[in-house]
Chains A and B, each alone.
Chain A
């Protein structure tokens, strides 16, 4: 299923050849006279090819060795949640401004609403600045953040004991593999607390 499969184009070409060959055979036996029955035979042939292809893929997928990098759920992480909240707040501010211009909101109500949204949006932008991107974090910090995010997900979903142990063991292994880094400055580099998953503020309004 990986898009990076180097043989993908070859497989697609093979599939196309099989399809076209089959259709040409059907049309040929009917002297290239396209009638309703011929059309549905061709559609039926397409269905047969897709059946074989997908039944093969389902079996191959079930029997495949799990890819080490193919994790169950990639945690959104703090940054993703904050970006989402920022986007909804920006839209809410624009909507309030629009409603004010449309005359639906009084100046006082609109200013009060916009002030609330702006205050929260500024807080979010500040948190985003503190979160930073991966390159700014040390390897240990990246691992710790990843483990923290996975544990949050795991806590929501009540994973099986085996999955829990596997995740923790993986994190520990990765931590041991890297050399120890000096302890970071607590103010500047400490990752921000992730935002809540269910923001209360207004969402997208079109």
Chain B
């Protein structure tokens, strides 16, 4: 009920009070946790735990009120008015909760509150001695985010004058199935990194640095890894279906923000095993936990401060930037300070018996993963760094990232196959041969088959620098064969060993093997998933694309042969026919949908696709691209309606043929399944084992569990798909739409305009980024008017130039790039020309490799010295105790 002219929203009032109450509860829980642990007061620690629960309930209340405001259309609240409207479906109204900056911060607080409630409830008794510090750490993080909400970005702010009758609606790009689940999963991954960090700080502050802490942290880091993986792949799927550029990963800063902590979390999951096995690398593991959390906050900072430019970013906010910088500094100071303070307890004498050991393979894996994380961080921040140093923003585009990340990825892929073949401590030369033989043969066969069946795989690609070119595709396929061979060998041999040990059948043996060694074999499944993802990624190198402008749709004879004529075109062995263009309209949007028939090489009609453009009424003129994708195991046919004219029925299409891309999604599902296997609790395994059933019965139990886990993963992948265009098939327009809608000039689509006539033009266009703010596409790929104009400019600059020799072509190419740089600045280049972005990673890589070798040699030398000085075990075993030991071993699985 408005008082005077100022609107009054009880929801906003109660919501703001809830946030303020949560702030006070967090402060109380923080203080009581610190005091309780410092004074060893059980009651104060209990008070802090209940304070955390109370805080979580208050945040839950604020979130429930926020969503209630969305679903009840309370547009007196600015955030609700800015991100939703009455025509949206309920699902998207709920999605709007995290659709904007303010709500996304509250969503972050909510997810962390839920996670921390579960983590504290589960671990309260096990980690009594440090629970106060753990609660205090979590509450400190929450206090920071709540202070952003209270003092800067309160989502419950109301209008001071008459509120709008209806909202502005959610950004059309976010009205997509994948966007419903991508942000929650990515935020969950980010937030999950806070729990291990809190336990790490708790362990450091309390001095309880035994392995008990590590076990709990490892589980939460695995959850963090799982959700980060899910969030990253869903984001890729969204980009693939919604942005219409045929790809799924553009090394966008927001994408990189989720990838960096994924690298460090993965590194931790491996090095934690070394700590459990050998009792070493404690400081390293704690540093990784801190680094993972730091990178999640840093990623949040990047996307909300405006220091990087991204199509996904929330925009620029200098006040927020300063607050985040201070918080990041506090994290580093406190963490490093505690690690230094406890360094005497953390230091351990790391010894490796051999370079050919699993420990050393894990160490190399860690260094490569860290190298990946720091390279991505460096390259993402380079435009900001260059601007700060010399005033000009130097861009780094996809080619620069790929030149470094591809070789690093191949090394990681090799390690994913090699490490499982190595033994702990030492693998002798004979053992190396027997372990590596079969996978190496499979790798060789894969390469031979690829060369014979797919000669294009011999193509050379640059690595690190343009001058170093290798057949990357062949190497990639070879590595995939090696990894698959390695994993299959591990399962095969492990099953045979188990069958021999237990006398069981193959099915129950393999299930028992996986369940009893689920961290190892779950990890192997994850490695297999990674190999399959690399298989999918390999197809990107063979992507084909064409643009077509069709004046009028064809009339298709039912059951007729492959059509021909002006409305058809052939591409990559398929025939495409433009058959219809229709318009539909509802309360929410206008949709223009084309109908395209697809025929195979034999003339059989294999499908009908409906690419579309949607114009949301509240979308501020921003049309969304609704691509049509025909998915097969070998390739996707990806059709984009890039332009149209409803009056003349002219249509522009861009068609991509994306080989192997389905395997990226399949690979993720395998990776997700492997992660779930690793997370199966021991009590579930015990419950499956204790019943005196037949082996078949036990195998059935286990299969049910495995089936449920796989169904969860499969369900995410299979249920989700792009919203189908609301197309009517056959041009029955229900409402007149102004001519030229979606196109600047009637009769010509931008994507098809000014296509390069030769390779030099294409190379130059590929090197220049489109300044329209799209997903970091080059002017060759972007389908906007600006890109079309810039392509014309490139062609004009090269008109009449001598391109007969390689030297001449290079000269013309460089002069075009220099001309663009002088007009638009260095940010127009997708690959930096200065030496610094190349020099720094190169020096770091060489230095890192050298350091790794030196450190590895020292570890191995220490072990050799220790072995030489240690007295050999010579005494005979006491028979009584040996029997006791054998009895206990018989009960150990």
User: Within 8 Å CB of A57, what residues of B?
Assistant: 50, 53-54
Query: Is B878 a contact partner of A122 (Cβ separation < 8 A)?
Result: yes
Query: Is B493 a contact partner of A160 (Cβ separation < 8 A)?
Result: no
User: Within 8 Å CB of B211, what residues of A?
Assistant: 198, 203
Query: Is A54 a contact partner of B32 (Cβ separation < 8 A)?
Result: no
B814 at the interface (CB under 8 A from A): no
Query: Is A104 a contact partner of B873 (Cβ separation < 8 A)?
Result: no
Query: Is B50 a contact partner of A206 (Cβ separation < 8 A)?
Result: no
CA distance A55 to B58 in the complex (A): 10
Give which listed residue, A35, A72, A201, contacts B40 with CB less than 8 A: A72
Query: Is A40 a contact partner of B61 (Cβ separation < 8 A)?
Result: no
Query: Is B888 a contact partner of A95 (Cβ separation < 8 A)?
Result: no
A184 at the interface (CB under 8 A from B): no
Q: Mark B131-169, 1 if CB is under 8 A from A, else 0.
A: 000000000000000000000000000000000000000
User: Within 8 Å CB of A44, what residues of B?
Assistant: 61, 64-65, 68
Residue of B nearest to A96 (CB): B424
* Partner-contacting stretch, out of A58-66, A141-149, A185-193: A58-66
Give which listed residue, B90, B129, B273, contacts A73 with CB less than 8 A: B129
User: Within 8 Å CB of B292, what residues of A?
Assistant: none
Query: Is A47 a contact partner of B57 (Cβ separation < 8 A)?
Result: yes
User: Within 8 Å CB of A115, what residues of B?
Assistant: 873
Known A-B contacts A36-B90, A102-B493, A205-B520; A1 and B892 likewise in contact (beta carbons under 8 Å): no
Query: Is A90 a contact partner of B892 (Cβ separation < 8 A)?
Result: yes
Query: Is B424 a contact partner of A50 (Cβ separation < 8 A)?
Result: no
User: Which residues 51-102 of B have a CB within 8 angstroms of A?
Assistant: 51, 53-54, 56-58, 60-61, 64-65, 67-68, 71-72, 90, 93-94
User: Within 8 Å CB of A62, what residues of B?
Assistant: 32, 43-44, 47
B828 at the interface (CB under 8 A from A): no
B128 at the interface (CB under 8 A from A): yes
A20 at the interface (CB under 8 A from B): no
Give which listed residue, B61, B277, B422, contacts A104 with CB less than 8 A: B422
User: Which residues 1-55 of A have a CB within 8 angstroms of B?
Assistant: 1, 35-37, 40-41, 43-44, 46-48, 50-51, 53-55
Q: How far is the CB of B538 from chain A (nearest CB, A)?
A: 30
CA distance A55 to B428 in the complex (A): 62
Residue of A nearest to B209 (CB): A198
* Partner-contacting stretch, out of A105-113, A132-140, A173-181: A105-113
Query: Is A94 a contact partner of B892 (Cβ separation < 8 A)?
Result: yes
Residue of A nearest to B496 (CB): A101
Query: Is A202 a contact partner of B278 (Cβ separation < 8 A)?
Result: yes
B631 at the interface (CB under 8 A from A): no
Query: Is A72 a contact partner of B431 (Cβ separation < 8 A)?
Result: no
Q: How far is the CB of A135 from chain B (nearest CB, A)?
A: 21
User: Within 8 Å CB of A116, what residues of B?
Assistant: 873
* Partner-contacting stretch, out of B511-519, B699-707, B737-745: B511-519
Query: Is B54 a contact partner of A58 (Cβ separation < 8 A)?
Result: yes
Query: Is B50 a contact partner of A90 (Cβ separation < 8 A)?
Result: no
CA distance A196 to B744 in the complex (A): 77
B430 at the interface (CB under 8 A from A): yes
Query: Is B885 a contact partner of A118 (Cβ separation < 8 A)?
Result: yes
Query: Is B885 a contact partner of A47 (Cβ separation < 8 A)?
Result: no
Q: Mark B646-682, 1 if CB is under 8 A from A, else 0.
A: 0000000000000000000000000000000000000
CA distance A197 to B209 in the complex (A): 9
CA distance A35 to B67 in the complex (A): 13
Query: Is B892 a contact partner of A91 (Cβ separation < 8 A)?
Result: yes
Query: Is B497 a contact partner of A58 (Cβ separation < 8 A)?
Result: no
B229 at the interface (CB under 8 A from A): no
CA distance A156 to B130 in the complex (A): 13
Most buried by A among B42, B71, B211, B423: B423
CA distance A101 to B431 in the complex (A): 12
Residue of A nearest to B278 (CB): A202
Known A-B contacts A37-B68, A37-B72, A101-B500; A206 and B516 likewise in contact (beta carbons under 8 Å): yes
Query: Is A66 a contact partner of B500 (Cβ separation < 8 A)?
Result: no
Query: Is B32 a contact partner of A113 (Cβ separation < 8 A)?
Result: no
Q: How far is the CB of A185 from chain B (nearest CB, A)?
A: 21
User: Within 8 Å CB of A102, what residues of B?
Assistant: 490, 493-494, 497
Query: Is A103 a contact partner of B493 (Cβ separation < 8 A)?
Result: yes
User: Which residues 858-889 of B have a CB within 8 angstroms of A?
Assistant: 873, 875, 877-878, 881-882, 884-885, 888-889
Q: How far is the CB of B314 from chain A (nearest CB, A)?
A: 25
Residue of A nearest to B68 (CB): A40
Query: Is A163 a contact partner of B60 (Cβ separation < 8 A)?
Result: no
CA distance A202 to B276 in the complex (A): 7
User: Within 8 Å CB of A73, what residues of B?
Assistant: 40, 128-129
Give which listed residue, A54, A95, A197, contacts B210 with CB less than 8 A: A197
B206 at the interface (CB under 8 A from A): yes
Residue of A nearest to B93 (CB): A36
Query: Is A41 a contact partner of B68 (Cβ separation < 8 A)?
Result: yes
Q: Residues on A close to B: CB < 8 A?
A: 1, 35-37, 40-41, 43-44, 46-48, 50-51, 53-55, 57-59, 61-62, 64, 66-67, 70-74, 86, 90-91, 93-95, 98-99, 101-106, 109, 113, 115-116, 118-119, 121-122, 125-126, 156-160, 163, 197-206
Q: Residues on B close to A: CB < 8 A?
A: 21, 25, 28-29, 32, 39-44, 46-51, 53-54, 56-58, 60-61, 64-65, 67-68, 71-72, 90, 93-94, 128-129, 206-208, 210-211, 273, 275-279, 348, 421-428, 430-431, 434-435, 490, 493-494, 497, 500-501, 516-521, 873, 875, 877-878, 881-882, 884-885, 888-889, 892-893
Going nearest first, the 7 A-B pairs with the smallest beta carbon separation are A54-B54, A203-B276, A58-B50, A47-B61, A50-B57, A104-B423, A44-B64
- In the complex, 10 of the A-B residue pairs with CB atoms within 8 angstroms, ordered by the A residue number, are A50-B53, A58-B50, A64-B46, A72-B128, A103-B435, A104-B431, A106-B431, A125-B888, A126-B881, A203-B277
**New A-B pairs, 20, CB < 8 Å, besides A54-B51, A102-B493, A122-B882:** A40-B68, A43-B64, A47-B61, A57-B54, A58-B47, A58-B51, A61-B49, A73-B128, A98-B494, A109-B428, A116-B873, A118-B882, A119-B873, A119-B877, A122-B881, A160-B40, A198-B279, A202-B424, A206-B516, A206-B517
